Amino acid sequence: MEHTIFYIIVAIIVFDYVLERLLDYLNATRRSTELPKELEGIYDVEKYRKSQEYDKVKSRFSLLTSTLSLAAMLLLLFLGGFAWLDDFVRGYTTNPILMALMFFGILGFAADILSTPLSIYSTFDIEEKFGFNKTTPRTFVLDKLKGWLLGAIIGGGLLALVVWIYTATGEWFWVIAWAVIGGFTIFMTMFYSNLIVPLFNKQTPLEEGDLRKKIEAFAEKVGFQLKNIYVMDGSKRSTKANAYFTGLGKKKRIVLFDTLIKDHTDEELVSVLAHEIGHYKKKHTLTGTILSLAQTGLTLFILSLFLSNPALSSALGASDPSFHMSILAFGLLYGPISLALGLIMNIISRKNEFAADRYAGENYAAAPLQDALKKLSVNHLSNLRPHPAYVFFYYSHPPLLARLKALESVK
């Protein structure tokens, strides 16, 4: 049976790679050296050509990274790399918690080290070439170190707790693990911006002035209690702009990137905030959290059905079954289910984005939101004519032209 599982894992990995390449090819067929008529008034000729070059360069880089990833994974599978690492950690301990921590710690650290040159190239060559990068080498190194520290503390802590729950509870493992992970998810939803973001970025309250008055006036108009409006120094790493809504209840917070404020008018910024408030008013934040928790529960339930099967560990070459080898094999086998769930979540997300746009258009104004979306797309050199199949698989937000068209009906 382990041989069957092994080849199913290989087939899933290869299928994912082929699907990704096919979607990239379909997307590439939509590129054009001439400014399409539907983009006139959004892009000028020079900026459009630059966006097409940016898309082409990113696609080539994606081909390189995914090919290297595929090659590395197949080598590890066929040469018994995972089994070798399993034997290595067993030489130091037989405690299931320590084995899992060592196994995934070494695996994750090695993968990150090997991918660092690609990350450096992406940041300091590609993003630099197209005028986006503001990351300094010092910031890059500090981000890496902080990422490793958080991964060790949070990732390692959760992993150790999950392994302990499995060894202590048996058949009720998935229920208790779901409760623990669910509780952590809710905690991070409420406090991520307070606890994690400050390790990487400064967040300062939006200063008093016309913009804050306009935002507060709109929030009061729609009955949205808003005390926490923050500006984040996104320009520390990139010229790209963004805004996001986070938290639940009294802990909710709206964060604007300083780059967003720099490039947009007050009316455009209020319309963007109206969109974010629309997500809250339409309960997208709450339903998103519930769906995420449901997906976690489903994953853990399916995992519990297979985890005790020694064939999972054997499929990766392990001589003795273990939690860490079984969960790794399960993670690789789970790919098709994860893909299907991801597609469903993207469909829901795109629907929610249309609804939030409509809320902003109806309760504030559609025109400034259209202008803001155009600016964001042009400033990010976004590909505004993606292939429909690419959108279906990858886009959590609708393409710009679809959003602009939908907003026309609100005017």
Active site residue ranges:
276, 357
Give the separation between CA 328 and CA 77, rounded to whole angstroms. Answer: 12
What whole-number distance in Å separates Cα of residue 273 and Cα of residue 252?
13
Token pair 């929030």: residue: 219
Q: What 3-state DSSP class applies to 232? A: strand
Sequence-distant (6+) residues with CB within 8 A of 338 are none
The Cα-based distances of 315 to 8, 47, 70, 124 in angstroms read 10, 51, 18, 40
Distance CA 341, CA 346 (A): 9
| Residues 6+ positions from 330 with CB-CB distance below 8 Å | 303, 306, 307, 312
Task: Compute CA distances 233 → 28, 126, 201, 262, whole Å.
Answer: 34, 22, 6, 11
Using a 10 angstrom Cβ sphere, with 0-12 exposed, 13-18 middle and 19 or more buried, the burial of residue 183 is exposed
Helical axes 2-28 vs 335-363, angle rounded to 10°? 40
Would you state the structure tokens that stand for residue 283, as one six-digit string? 């309960």
